[in-house]
């Protein structure tokens, strides 16, 4: 495997009973890139995302991170190796402070509370939430909760950050701030894989896009090429996109 390939998913299949959610999927993620996973509802994006994160193992195929086979490792074990994720529905500890929520992530790499608190403060500042550090997480607005998810993941000091629809439900101005944050994360040397439905946001942001449909890879490449692909237009974007 090339040294510039951080994550290598090869011929992965995942079944749930009689449903084949992913079928013979192969995806390479290069160091330092922002990769977008897109496709219609039911395409298998969330399943592939969860396979990478360690929510469950594949039935077939391999998942290698920095050359190491991680297909059977748990989510926490993958986190210790350098894979962090957010959730489509934010999962904060609402009765705990924002700072303590991020410290939970920092404890993945920092055994002492003083060091974890320092990392948490630094990460909150990076994500623009430092003023909210003492507030209960339950008081955050929905956009702030999404940033908290990102901050907690970043506090684990990942090499690969998996973002699950972090732009969903944001206003245009909030989405612009979200795009800036993702770019800042990449500028810090963190590779990003993001599942996103808001095409107007994700396509100008990502370096490459992988389109899934019916559990299989339909297309991949640079965003400008993917959106012109006839198969992608037919399966996902629609004929109105072709006309535009």
Phi, psi of 45 (to 5 degrees): -65, -50
Residue 2, pLDDT score: 57
Tell how far CA 167 is from the center of its chain: 11
Residue spans of the domains in the chain: they are 5-82+159-243, 91-157
Residue 243, pLDDT score: 46
Can you give the pTM of this predicted structure? 0.93
What kind of fold does domain 5-82+159-243 have according to CATH?
A: Rossmann fold (3.40.50)
Residue 239, pLDDT score: 62
pLDDT by position in tens, the chain (length 244) = 557 999 999 999 999 999 999 999 999 999 999 999 999 888 999 999 999 999 999 999 999 999 999 999 999 999 999 999 999 888 899 999 999 999 999 999 998 999 999 999 999 999 999 999 999 999 999 999 999 999 999 999 999 999 999 888 888 899 999 999 999 999 999 999 999 887 888 889 999 999 999 999 999 999 999 988 888 888 887 766 554 5
Q: Is 133 exposed, middle or buried (0-12, 13-18, 19+ CB in 10 A)?
A: middle
Cβ neighbours of residue 201 closer than 8 Å, sequence gap 6 or more: 167, 175, 178, 179
């Amino acid at each position: 495997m090339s040294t510039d390939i951080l994550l290598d998913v090869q011929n992965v299949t995942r079944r749930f009973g009689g449903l084949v959610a992913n079928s013979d999927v192969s995806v390479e993620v290069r160091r330092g890139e922002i990769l977008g996973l897109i496709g219609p509802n039911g395409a298998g994006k969330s399943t592939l995302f969860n396979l990478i994160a360690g929510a469950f193992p594949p039935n077939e195929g391999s998942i290698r991170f920095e050359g190491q086979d991680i297909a059977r490792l748990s989510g926490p074990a993958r986190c210790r190796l350098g894979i962090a994720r957010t959730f489509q529905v934010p999962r904060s500890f609402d009765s705990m402070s924002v700072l303590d929520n991020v410290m939970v992530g920092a404890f993945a790499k920092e055994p002492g509370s003083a060091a974890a608190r320092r990392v948490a403060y630094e990460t909150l500042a990076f994500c623009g939430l430092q003023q909210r550090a003492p507030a209960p997480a339950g008081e955050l607005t929905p956009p702030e909760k999404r940033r908290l998810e990102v901050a907690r993941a970043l506090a684990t000091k990942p090499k690969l950050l998996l973002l699950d629809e972090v732009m969903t439900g944001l206003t245009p101005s909030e989405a612009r701030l979200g795009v800036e944050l993702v770019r800042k994360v990449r500028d810090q040397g963190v590779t990003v894989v993001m599942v996103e439905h808001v095409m107007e946001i994700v396509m100008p942001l990502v370096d490459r896009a992988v389109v899934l449909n019916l559990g299989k890879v339909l297309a991949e490449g640079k965003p400008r090429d993917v959106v012109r692909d006839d198969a992608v237009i037919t399966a996902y974007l629609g004929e109105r996109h072709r006309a535009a």
